Amino acid sequence: MRKVTLTILGAMLCALTSAQTYQADTSSYNVDTLLYNGDADKFINLVILSDGYMEAELSQFELDATHVMNSLFSVEPYTTYQSYFNVFIIKVPSNESGANHPGTLSCTAEHPILEVDNYFESTFDIGYLHRLLASPTPWKVTDVLAYNFPMYDEAVVLVNTPYYGGSGGTFATLSTHELSGDLFIHELAHSFVDLKDEYWPGEVYAGEAANMTQESDPEIVRWKNWVSEDWHGVFEYFSGAGWYRPHNQCRMKILSPLLPGVPASFCKVCREATVEKIHSLCTPVQEYQPSSSDIYSPSFPLEFQVELIQPLSQALHSNWSLNGVAIESNTASISIQQADLNQGVNILTFDVQDATDMLRIDNHEEIHAYEISWTIENGETEILCQNLNFPAGWSIFSTYISAENMAADYLLNPLNNDNNLVIVKNHMGTAYLPSYDVNGIGAIENEQGYLAKNNFTQTIEICGESVLPEETPISLNQGWGMFSYLRYEAADLSAVFSELQDEIIIIKNSVGDAFLPDWGFNGIGDLEPGKGYQIKMSSPQILIYLANDQEY
């Protein structure tokens, strides 16, 4: 390491000059886990990157990063909610050990001037402020994160230097000095929770936040539920400031402990805001089984299980209820017997809320309630399958099956083999075009008939719950439309429409056969399952088929 004469702003200029021809580092570095509670997409991911650690020092980096992590989780509410976090480290080796110190201030007696070839170029004296330690090349941090852990929620650079310093911002930076952890926790509260300072930061930096407001009335201030407890109140920053804070000794005001050996802590308002933030990123319900919310034709006993992230306080309170009646509390699983269910549709609900005493916001019970519900079809529901035949050319189809997924592109997907299906149109002329991957129809409706064009004849099977024809009214609008046939067996068209035939102008099937009531002519004969029909009405009517166990 050599003495340097560059100022730090000069160093930043050099960094930016080289940035014009910047080549991103696409390297994969070792990403190790310090704390793992679950999948990165579900838990809050804190990522610590090394700077100023040579290859041989990376094991020390792991120890130092563990110390930082432990510092964070020794402070409430992070202690209680540690189970909501993952902590990872990215081991980025540097060519040389330590941090730059240009020595642009009169601080060289205790902190020698140093020039260090460290990876992120972390340096003291930024902006001629001695203890301001940061990377002047944050784009390098961005690149390493992008290629190694893009789903980070918070990232921090840990610099291998024993001198006190750090910085906040998008990527907090801290040294290994024992008090730097306090700076990091303060900065994390800014970047992670969006808390304001509780010392007077100046008018430019004042703003409405969880812990800062212009509202002075203790009855309506946003932290009104904490007023008068443990020295919380509505304190003006200074006389005439017009801005108020909830406490006088919060970590957002002071870094140092009030008394030796008594660590600084967040006030209860800041704790509450932090818990709110944690819940906004990571819900207490991580997994549940069955994963499908609709359960048809179940076999018994039915087992339900929910995986919760319990904070250290074990404050999650949960309830199971069946058809609105509470049946169990504070258990992660439940077994349902058929005798517990009503005939037909049943609703099983699991709700959980964080009953922590750290939360006192109004309507907490609603805001922090998380609910899962399952619909259980008991008894009468039966899964049936219907074959639909699609001849080559144009045809009209319909179905009495209500499948779990009725989207046209999903339901008719078997017809897409060898590009068989050309187009499907509904009565509005809206189309599903498989070759363009455009589904303008959306879901296939049981009440409707649909025009389809196929290149060759093919039969597909559709399975699901059968709709009850007697409970499925079909609207026949004035003018042209299409309708479905919902019964299991064919039925004489004339009989089906006997009560409506005065309003029917014509009904046609897909091959052009017609039913003309005014002429007493039925060229179609029977309505057939799986087929759809075109119809022209002189006035709007409702068609309701007889039940399957009745005959026309």
Partner 1 sequence: MRIDYAKVVIFLTLIHSFCFAAHLESLDKDNFQDNKIVFLNYSIHKSAVNEIQVVLMNQIIVEGTLKQTSEKKHLNVLGNLKCIELDENHREINTIYLLNPLQKPVEYVNDEGELAWTEISQDESGFSIRLQLHENTAYIAIEQINDPTQQGKRIITTKIE
Min separation Cβ 196 and partner 1, Å: 10
- Terminal CA-CA length for the chain: 98
If the CB atoms of residues 172 and 396 are measured against partner 1, the closer one turns out to be: 172
Q: Which residues contact 65 (CB under 8 A, 6 or more apart)?
A: 34, 48, 50, 87, 89, 158
If the CB atoms of residues 163 and 397 are measured against partner 1, the closer one turns out to be: 163
If the CB atoms of residues 106 and 228 are measured against partner 1, the closer one turns out to be: 106
Min separation Cβ 352 and partner 1, Å: 19
DSSP assignments along 487-502, one per residue: -SS-EEHHHHTTTTGG
Q: Which residues contact 106 (CB under 8 A, 6 or more apart)?
A: none
Min separation Cβ 523 and partner 1, Å: 48
Min separation Cβ 520 and partner 1, Å: 54
Tokens of 50: 């090394």
If the CB atoms of residues 150 and 301 are measured against partner 1, the closer one turns out to be: 150
Min separation Cβ 170 and partner 1, Å: 4
If the CB atoms of residues 195 and 396 are measured against partner 1, the closer one turns out to be: 195
Residue 183's alpha-carbon distances to 72, 155, 180, in angstroms, are: 11, 14, 5
If the CB atoms of residues 156 and 524 are measured against partner 1, the closer one turns out to be: 156
Looking at this protein, which amino acid is placed at residue 231?
W
With tokens 């990403």, the residue in question is 31
Min separation Cβ 419 and partner 1, Å: 24
Give how far the C-alpha of residue 443 lies from the chain's centroid of Cα atoms, to the nearest Å. Answer: 25
Q: Is 409 helix (H, G, I), strand (E, B) or coil?
A: helix
Min separation Cβ 387 and partner 1, Å: 34
- Give the burial string for 86-100 (b: 16+ CB within 10 Å, else e): bbbbbbbbbebbbbb
If the CB atoms of residues 186 and 268 are measured against partner 1, the closer one turns out to be: 186
Q: Using CB under 8 A as the criterion, which residues of the chain lie in contact with partner 1 when the complex forms?
A: 9, 12-13, 15-16, 19-20, 22-24, 41, 44, 126-127, 129-132, 134, 137-139, 142-143, 145-147, 150-151, 153, 164-170, 178-179, 183, 186-187, 190-191, 194, 197, 199, 201-202, 204-205, 207, 253-256, 260, 280-282
Length of the chain: 552
Give the span between the Cα atoms of 339 and 532, in whole angstroms: 41
Give the span between the Cα atoms of 176 and 178, in whole angstroms: 6
If the CB atoms of residues 57 and 121 are measured against partner 1, the closer one turns out to be: 121
Min separation Cβ 319 and partner 1, Å: 26
If the CB atoms of residues 17 and 299 are measured against partner 1, the closer one turns out to be: 17
Is 527 in contact with 490 (CB distance < 8 Å)? yes
Tokens of 91: 């081991």
Min separation Cβ 63 and partner 1, Å: 18
Q: Is 106 helix (H, G, I), strand (E, B) or coil?
A: coil
If the CB atoms of residues 207 and 479 are measured against partner 1, the closer one turns out to be: 207
Going by C-alpha positions, the residue among 465, 475, 489 that lies closest to residue 543 is 475
Angle between helices 58-72 and 180-191 (to 10 degrees): 60
Min separation Cβ 332 and partner 1, Å: 24
- Give the burial string for 267-276 (b: 16+ CB within 10 Å, else e): bbbbbbbbbb
If the CB atoms of residues 101 and 425 are measured against partner 1, the closer one turns out to be: 101
Give the span between the Cα atoms of 157 and 439, in whole angstroms: 48
Q: Which helix (H) or strand (E) holds 280?
A: helix 268-281
Min separation Cβ 280 and partner 1, Å: 7
Q: How many C-beta neighbours within 10 Å does residue 152 have? A: 21
Residue 166 φ/ψ region, left for φ over 0, alpha for ψ in the -120 to 50 degree band, beta for the rest: left
